[in-house]
Each structure stands twice: as C-alpha cells, then as structure tokens.
Homo-oligomer: A and B are copies of this chain.
Amino acid sequence: MRLKLTISYDGRAFEGWQSQAGNNTVQDHLLKALAETAKEPVRLQGSGRTDAGVHALAQVAHFDAPDHLTMNPYNWVPALNTKLPAAIRVLQCEEVAADFHARFSATGKTYRYDLCTDPILSPFKAGFAWHVPRLLDAGALVEALDVLKGTHDFRGFAANRGNETPETDYVRTIHAADLETLPDGYRITFSGNGFLYKMVRLLTGAAIHSAQGRLRLGDLARLLDQPPELPHGKSPLCAPADGLFLQEVRYGE
C-alpha cells in the first residue's frame, strides 16, 4: 500500500531534508521512525529537498507500507509522531494510487518567505524571518515581484547542484509572487509549477535588493531568460534560509 505523508518541521534543528551522514536530517528522522514502526527498513521519497534551516508547513513524501502491515493509514500519524522529535510532526497519512510519486506527480508548489523590518528581531522570530531593518520600499518590492512572475528560463536564479547537464531544463512558471503585510514586516508568497535549487531565496534576495534601491528593475528583468552560456547564480543576493517555509505541494490539475 502506497502512503502519502504530509509533514511539518522547524528547519532550525536539522541539516535539511535529504538523508546524509550524521543522520540529523528530516528524512533521516522519518526513516528511523518508519523503520521502527514497520519493523523493517522503508524507503521514503520526498517532493523535493529543503536546505538546512528551511521550514515546512506541509512537505509531502510517499512510502510503501510493507504488505504484512495491516495498519490503517491514519494510525501511522501517532505511531510516527511518538518516535519523532517535537520539531517534526506528521500531520496526515493517506492511501494513494500505486503510481503516485511525491516528486514526479507534483504539479506545483507554494513557498513563503517572511521578512522582519522591525529594528529589533524578536527572539520568537529568530530563525523564522530574514531581518531586514534597512529601508525597504514596499511599492518597489511589489514591482520587483511582478517582474519575476510568468514563464521564464530561471537559470540566473538557480544555484548549481553539480548534477546539471546541457539538457537541464531551467524553464519554470511563477503564477503568483504576492506581498502581504505582517505586524513586524512582510510575507512574500511564491506559487509556481516548480522551483530550481535555491530559486526562492535567490528571487527573494534580488527583489529585496531592488526594493532597497540597489538593483534597478531593468537589471532585475535582465537576469531572467539568460542564454545558456551565462554562469549560474548571477543573482546579486541569496536570502538566508531563516524566513523560508515550504507551504504547499500540489498534485493533480
């Protein structure tokens, strides 16, 4: 039986999503809890990686429950949560079709990025917002976000992961890049059909630079749709992991 997990985590405590030596990633903790519950090793496929310090409101992953286990899907939720650190919670477990794939079936994602513009970053926001107490023009930020929307080749807003090939497809569509006012700053919400490595942080950094008057809109636009021969990571600024939350992974139409 293939099961889909919806998972929330406070990224501050972990070395990102992806399993690695040291075993302090979100996937590592989930694999351990899954193996303890299933009494055998289980493979777990996430919708995509999140970096160290990046948070998730609703990350998605799938696994195949061993045939001998007759547990109801919803019983996996407490079974896993009692074995997980409090900074990781499984919110939901549901049966899905055998061909469901957390990564390849995903049709879109939403990320949000929180900015704190107060002169002092509250202890309760430390690690959860990028502290930008410098002058920030909200109108200019909206204009910059508008420039970034649409279907583009985003290689100028992708960090190199090392597995790129000449066939790597950098074209993505950003449906929404919205600004919302918070009591102590702003929230940017990006929705798109997919995001490249560090793309949300690079888009956010560039938009902030623009809103601070350090990057003109025309120059921001010229970072889009760069020809293949241009180097990666040309964006002027990568926003820190702190303010970034994976908010939703969408499947289906």
Contacts and interface: CB of A to CB of B under 8 A. Distances in A.
Given A81-B120, A120-B77, A120-B81, A126 B86 contact: yes
A75 to B, nearest CB: 13
Contacts of A123: 8-10, 86-89
Interface string A117-132: 0001111101110000
How many subunits of this chain does the assembly comprise? Answer: 2
Interface residues of A, number: 20
A29 to B, nearest CB: 12
A85 to B, nearest CB: 9
A126 B81 contact: no
A91 interface: yes
The 4 closest A-B pairs by CB, nearest first: A86-B126, A10-B123, A87-B123, A89-B123
Interface string A4-21: 000011100000000000
A201 B92 CA distance: 32
Contacts of A90: 120
A91 B125 CA distance: 14
A91 to B, nearest CB: 6
Given A8-B122, A120-B91, A122-B8, A127 B86 contact: yes
Contacts of A10: 123-124, 126
Contacts of A86: 121, 123, 126-127
Contact of A122 (B89, B127, B128): B89
A5 to B, nearest CB: 13
Contacts of A87: 123, 126
Interface in A85-134: 86-91, 120-124, 126-128
